[in-house]
């Protein structure tokens, strides 16, 4: 096995390997900056992505460089930190090695040894056993996919302008968002504003305000993790923007130019649409399952591995797992499912760094405790809902809170400044600076996909946890 050479630090230093430069992993490395350890951060992307704003890339409000920040730049002044751009494929827990996906053509190492390992590889959207839906209904979690969504939304208006067929125009002008969690609500609000406001008067053959935006969720209300009163306010705000909110509707089929929904006791309804966007459930990175199997730890149906109260993998005190990948054991022997949100990953990342420092200095560390700071979701321009420790806000005030929190957590001073400038310009001009089509529209595939059992079961569980 070829180990990754490291000539930057003395060999005797304690080696901490962190997988994932997302919210959790970055906080671990920041907490170990200048500590007496040698840190290796491995990510398959060379940037930290601020996922809470990727939907704004998808709707042309922000550009990629405003919400992503190079990991190498983030740690350039921390001499004890090195960054490796590589995909982790597995672990040798007994040999204390992280295994890297093979890149033989450049003679890269195939493993990285560690004394302490922290795994924070996050999650991805789950299509509930219907991975073939992913190409038809892209999500907005990754930068690449958000760019695909942006091209599809904007292309749909372009195709509608071009076509002479009324039925095709209607398909192009119909946007379906699956999943009524915060992400679905945010995406639906943004597309409605794009159609009603930003694109108004941009076309000659169509009126962009005729676009239909449908937000579909299997549950009985939007934003199921918020209090019902805020869910109702969010639904009303969306409807005022022209979004058709379809709760109690389960998506049972996704085809290239249609989705099929089922409501209790009603006939299946087929909705022709050229653009379907997926914002339903999430599943943990496959590395969680890998670790669970290797350590004999529990893995739940969302792929999250159960870790001890100090976030260590059962039987492996030298391995910590955190963020979207885990459920945590509580002091009564039960298991806590924390929400799949950034504050959980951030606090766990900070905790992991503290535990590593404490161990090296022979100090004990109390168990991890999550401090819930509340829930936020924005609904288009100048509207949001916020539930902050029982304080329920909506409308303009909630939107200011949302703005402040997002700017606070955005990494990099330059990104904060750019986003403030961009949002201010957009607020006053009603414009969107990044309305660029960078991918060709998808070709309609004639094959009709039959709704399967897995899909029905999965869609029923849509928006079950986390942001969805
Ligand atoms: C569209 C969207 C909107 C959201 N909005 C909000 C919000 O408003 N507020 C909020 O609190 N939360 C929000 N969330 C949730 C939040 O982004 C996540 O909970 C958080 O990112 C989890 O942090 P993490 O460190 O566990 O994983 P991530 O931040 O996802 O980081 C995982 C990292 O691991 C890397 N990685 C994964 N697999 C490998 C591998 N095999 N090898 C190498 N590297 C790998 C990835 O490239 C990534 O950089 C949103 C999520 C989405 C998708």
pLDDT tens per residue across span 355-378: 999 999 999 999 999 999 899 999
**67 φ/ψ angles, rounded to the nearest 5 degrees:** -120, 0
pLDDT of 69 above 70:
yes
How high is the pLDDT of residue 43? 98
pLDDT of 5 above 60:
no
Pocket test for ligand 1, best of 18, 23, 404 (most atoms within 8 A of CB): 23
How high is the pLDDT of residue 9? 53
Which residues belong to the active site? 186
How high is the pLDDT of residue 10? 55
Q: Which atom of ligand 1 is nearest to the CA of 341?
A: 19
Q: How far is CA 302 from the centre of its chain?
A: 15
pLDDT of 444 above 70:
no
* Residue nearest atom 33 of ligand 1, based on CA coordinates: 20
Section 50-74 average pLDDT: 94
Per residue in 80-104, pLDDT tens? 999 999 999 999 999 999 999 977 6
Q: Which atom of ligand 1 is nearest to the CA of 45?
A: 47
- Among 35-44, 50-59, 148-157, 417-426, whose mean pLDDT is lowest? 417-426
Contacts of 333 (CB under 8 A, 6+ apart): none
* Residue nearest atom 5 of ligand 1, based on CA coordinates: 52
CA distance 174 to 156: 9
CA of 324 to the centre of ligand 1 (A): 7
- Contact, 282 vs 465, CB < 8 A? yes
pLDDT of 308 above 90:
yes
How high is the pLDDT of residue 448? 38
CA of 45 to the centre of ligand 1 (A): 12
How high is the pLDDT of residue 458? 40
pLDDT of 450 above 80:
no
Determine the length of the chain. 468
CA of 22 to the centre of ligand 1 (A): 6
CA distance 181 to 186: 9
Average pLDDT, the chain: 90
Per residue in 373-390, pLDDT tens? 899 999 977 889 999 988
Pocket test for ligand 1, best of 47, 58, 122 (most atoms within 8 A of CB): 122
* Residue nearest atom 37 of ligand 1, based on CA coordinates: 121
- Among 79-83, 257-261, 287-291, 429-433, whose mean pLDDT is lowest? 429-433
Bridge partners (DSSP) listed for residue 91: 98
How high is the pLDDT of residue 106? 80
Q: Which atom of ligand 1 is nearest to the CA of 323?
A: 26
Assigned token pair, 405 = 């929190």
Section 5-34 average pLDDT: 87
Q: Which atom of ligand 1 is nearest to the CA of 50?
A: 17
- Among 2-6, 116-120, 208-212, whose mean pLDDT is lowest? 2-6
- Among 163-167, 213-217, 323-327, 411-415, whose mean pLDDT is lowest? 411-415
* Residue nearest atom 35 of ligand 1, based on CA coordinates: 20
pLDDT of 76 above 90:
yes
Angle at 110 between CA 104 and CA 114, to 5 degrees: 160
More confident residue, 326 or 105: 326
Q: Whole-model pTM?
A: 0.91
Section 37-47 average pLDDT: 97
Q: Which atom of ligand 1 is nearest to the CA of 122?
A: 27
More confident residue, 466 or 304: 304
Q: Which atom of ligand 1 is nearest to the CA of 49?
A: 49
Q: Which atom of ligand 1 is nearest to the CA of 340?
A: 19
pLDDT of 463 above 60:
no
Pocket test for ligand 1, best of 58, 140, 342, 408 (most atoms within 8 A of CB): 342
Closest CA to 102 of 114, 94, 90: 90
CA of 20 to the centre of ligand 1 (A): 9
How high is the pLDDT of residue 459? 42
Contacts of 137 (CB under 8 A, 6+ apart): 127, 178, 254, 259, 276, 277, 278
CA of 465 to the centre of ligand 1 (A): 14
Pocket test for ligand 1, best of 46, 52, 384 (most atoms within 8 A of CB): 52
CA of 21 to the centre of ligand 1 (A): 9
How high is the pLDDT of residue 382? 83
Assigned token pair, 453 = 């059992």
> Where are the chain's structural domains?
14-125+283-360
* Residue nearest atom 41 of ligand 1, based on CA coordinates: 88
Q: Which amino acids bring their CB within 6 angstroms of ligand 1?
A: 19-25, 42-45, 51-52, 54-55, 87-88, 120-122, 140-141, 182-183, 285, 287, 323-324, 340-343, 345, 467
Per residue in 392-401, pLDDT tens? 999 999 999 9
* Residue nearest atom 7 of ligand 1, based on CA coordinates: 52
How high is the pLDDT of residue 468? 63
Residue 183's pLDDT band, with cuts at 50, 70 and 90, is very high
Second-level CATH architecture of 14-125+283-360: 3-Layer(bba) Sandwich (3.50)
Q: Which whole-number Å values give the CA distances from 125 to 134, 179, 226, 327, 464, in the listed order?
A: 9, 11, 21, 18, 12
CA of 46 to the centre of ligand 1 (A): 14
pLDDT of 137 above 80:
yes
Pocket test for ligand 1, best of 18, 19, 22, 322 (most atoms within 8 A of CB): 22
More confident residue, 127 or 423: 127
271: how many CB neighbours lie within 10 A of its CB? 19
CA of 418 to the centre of ligand 1 (A): 22
Per residue in 280-297, pLDDT tens? 989 999 999 999 999 999
CA of 270 to the centre of ligand 1 (A): 33
């Amino acid at each position: 096995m070829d180990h990754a050479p490291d000539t930057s630090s003395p060999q005797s230093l304690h080696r901490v390997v962190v997988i994932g430069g997302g919210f959790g992993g970055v906080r671990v490395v920041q907490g170990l900056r200048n500590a007496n350890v040698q840190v290796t951060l491995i990510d398959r992307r060379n940037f930290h992505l601020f996922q809470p704003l990727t939907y704004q890339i998808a709707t042309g409000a922000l550009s990629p460089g405003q919400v992503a920040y190079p990991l190498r730049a983030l740690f350039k002044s921390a001499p004890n930190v090195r960054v490796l751009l590589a995909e982790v494929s597995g672990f040798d827990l007994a040999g204390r090695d992280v295994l890297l996906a093979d890149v033989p053509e450049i003679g890269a190492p195939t493993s990285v040894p560690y004394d302490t390992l922290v795994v924070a590889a996050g999650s991805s959207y789950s299509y509930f056993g219907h991975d073939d839906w992913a190409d038809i209904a892209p999500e907005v979690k990754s930068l690449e996919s958000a760019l695909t969504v942006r091209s599809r939304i904007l292309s749909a208006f372009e195709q509608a302008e071009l076509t002479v067929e009324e039925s095709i125009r209607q398909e192009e002008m119909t946007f379906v968002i699956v999943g009524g969690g915060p992400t679905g609500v945010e995406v639906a609000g943004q597309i409605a504003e794009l159609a009603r406001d930003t694109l108004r008067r941009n076309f000659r053959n169509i009126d962009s305000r005729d676009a239909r935006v449908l937000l579909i969720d299997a549950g009985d209300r939007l934003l199921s993790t918020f209090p019902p009163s805020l869910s109702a306010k969010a639904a009303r705000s969306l409807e005022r923007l022209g979004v058709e909110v379809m709760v109690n509707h389960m998506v049972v089929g996704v085809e290239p130019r249609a989705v099929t929904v089922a409501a209790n006791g009603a006939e299946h309804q087929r909705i022709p649409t050229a653009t379907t966007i997926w914002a339903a459930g999430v599943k943990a990175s496959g590395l969680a399952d890998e670790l669970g199997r290797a350590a004999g730890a529990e893995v739940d149906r969302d792929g999250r591995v159960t870790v001890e109260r100090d976030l260590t993998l059962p039987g492996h005190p030298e391995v910590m797992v955190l963020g979207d990948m885990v459920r945590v054991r509580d002091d009564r022997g039960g298991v806590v499912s924390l929400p799949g949100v950034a504050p959980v990953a951030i606090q766990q990342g900070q905790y992991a760094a503290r535990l590593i420092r404490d161990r090296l200095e022979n100090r004990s560390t109390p168990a991890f405790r999550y401090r819930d700071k509340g829930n936020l979701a924005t609904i288009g321009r100048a509207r949001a809902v916020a539930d902050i420790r029982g304080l329920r806000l909506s409308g303009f005030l909630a939107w200011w809170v949302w703005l402040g929190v997002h700017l606070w957590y955005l990494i990099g001073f330059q990104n904060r400044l750019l986003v403030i400038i961009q949002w201010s310009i957009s607020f006053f001009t009603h414009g969107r600076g990044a309305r660029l089509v960078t991918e060709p529209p998808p070709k309609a595939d004639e094959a009709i996909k039959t709704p399967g059992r897995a899909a029905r079961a999965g869609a029923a569980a849509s928006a079950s946890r986390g942001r969805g």
